[in-house]
């Protein structure tokens, strides 16, 4: 008696006598996937992938399937795009720079607020707390001032972001890394608002100093040789002191402290409730920063 003709379960017109070693359905060469023993069909392969636990870093972040630091690329792209926008429309700096409090008009004096048109964070422009971290002084300077090395402001920051960001993003995972970056940028702006509210500032330095603190905590948590890391952090702190003459040391320090706090929460959260504790720490820190801004605004407006 002649054997019955068998066909692929996905392609009925294709005659085949090979079956999936898992579900025993017949499969054609297009539907075959190599397995440890025999072949699997497409559905069995997908089901097996769903049952495999996703790899995690020591800090709970998902291990990306590609080594490309996508978030770092996007952040660099946003900074460069904002810089090109400044070159086309210089007014962007005055409109979106970090400024705690100021008045409209060239003859206004900082602090004389009653009955006057107030701008800045105290005037409800809270977005400046983050937008200022994506702007940089153009080559010719702006109303905020100028740096002695012009375009090197953004070049130095993007070079530091490229080197630090790749390492930190790989260890923390994309979501935790992005939260760290934005909170560090916010922390830098908040300290500027608390200490020097009438000074306009721009630059990604606060966020980058936060990444520097994260780099230190990560290496310490992983038990690596700290000698090179300590030298790196010493250079970071020296740069903060040197830049105090022409840049916002308050933003640098605020970013450094915020980044350190966030990464300590990431690194030492208990394994069983790691994600919950890490998320809660970020939310609480965000709430504290917002509260500090509210209190400062209240003090400035009296």
| Among 186, 207, 201, 206, residue whose Cα is nearest residue 293 | 186
Burial track 96-123 (b if 16+ CB lie within 10 A, e otherwise): bbbbbbbbeeeeeeeeebeeeebbbbbb
213 by Cβ neighbours in 10 Å (0-12 / 13-18 / 19+) ranks as: buried
Of all residues in the chain, the percent with pLDDT exceeding 70 is 83
Q: Dihedral sign for Cα 172, 176, 182, 183, please.
A: negative
CB atoms closer than 10 angstroms to residue 235:
11
Between residues 284 and 57, which one has the greater pLDDT?
284
Between residues 14 and 142, which one has the greater pLDDT?
14
* DSSP track, 243-301: GGGTS-HHHHHHHHHHHHHHHHHHHHS-GGGHHHHHHHHHHHHHHHHHHHHHHHHHHHH
At residue 149, the 3 state secondary structure works out as: coil
Could you tell me the domains of the chain? 1-52 (no CATH), 70-301 (1.20.1540.10)
24: phi then psi, degrees, rounded to nearest 5: 70, 15
Q: What is the pLDDT of residue 65?
A: 59
- Summarised one tens digit per residue, pLDDT across range 231-274 is 888 887 887 777 665 567 899 999 999 999 999 999 999 888 89
- Summarised one tens digit per residue, pLDDT across range 46-55 is 877 665 555 6
Q: What rounded mean pLDDT belongs to the chain?
A: 84
- Summarised one tens digit per residue, pLDDT across range 211-231 is 999 999 999 988 878 888 888
Between residues 205 and 14, which one has the greater pLDDT?
205
Q: What angle do CA 264, 177, 98 make, to 5 degrees?
A: 95
Q: What is the pTM of this model?
A: 0.77
Between residues 12 and 165, which one has the greater pLDDT?
165
């Amino acid at each position: 008696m002649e054997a019955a003709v068998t066909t692929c379960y996905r392609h009925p017109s294709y005659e085949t006598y090979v079956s999936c070693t898992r579900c025993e359905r017949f499969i054609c060469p297009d539907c075959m996937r190599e397995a440890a023993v025999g072949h699997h069909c497409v559905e069995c392969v997908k089901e097996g992938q769903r049952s495999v636990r996703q790899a995690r870093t020591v800090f709970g972040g998902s291990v990306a399937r590609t080594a490309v630091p996508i978030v770092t690329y996007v952040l660099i792209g946003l900074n460069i795009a904002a810089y090109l926008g400044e070159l086309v429309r210089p007014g962007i700096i005055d409109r979106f720079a970090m400024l705690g409090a100021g008045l409209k008009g060239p003859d206004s004096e900082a602090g004389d607020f009653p009955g006057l048109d107030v701008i800045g964070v105290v005037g409800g422009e809270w977005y400046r707390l983050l937008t200022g971290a994506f702007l940089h002084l153009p080559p010719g300077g702006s109303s905020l001032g100028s740096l002695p090395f012009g375009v090197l402001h953004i070049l130095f920051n993007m070079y530091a972001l490229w080197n630090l960001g790749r390492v930190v993003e790989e260890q923390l995972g994309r979501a935790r890394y992005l939260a760290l970056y934005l909170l560090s940028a916010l922390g830098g702006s908040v300290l500027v608002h608390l200490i020097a509210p009438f000074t306009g500032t721009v630059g990604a330095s606060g966020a980058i100093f936060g990444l520097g603190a994260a780099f230190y905590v990560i290496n310490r948590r992983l038990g690596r040789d700290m000698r090179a890391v300590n030298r790196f952090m010493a250079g970071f702190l020296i740069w903060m002191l040197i830049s105090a003459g022409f840049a916002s040391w308050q933003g640098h320090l605020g970013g450094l402290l915020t980044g350190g706090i966030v990464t300590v929460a990431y690194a030492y959260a208990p394994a069983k409730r790691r994600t919950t504790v890490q998320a809660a720490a970020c939310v609480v820190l965000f709430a504290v920063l917002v509260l500090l801004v509210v209190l400062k605004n209240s003090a400035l407006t009296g």
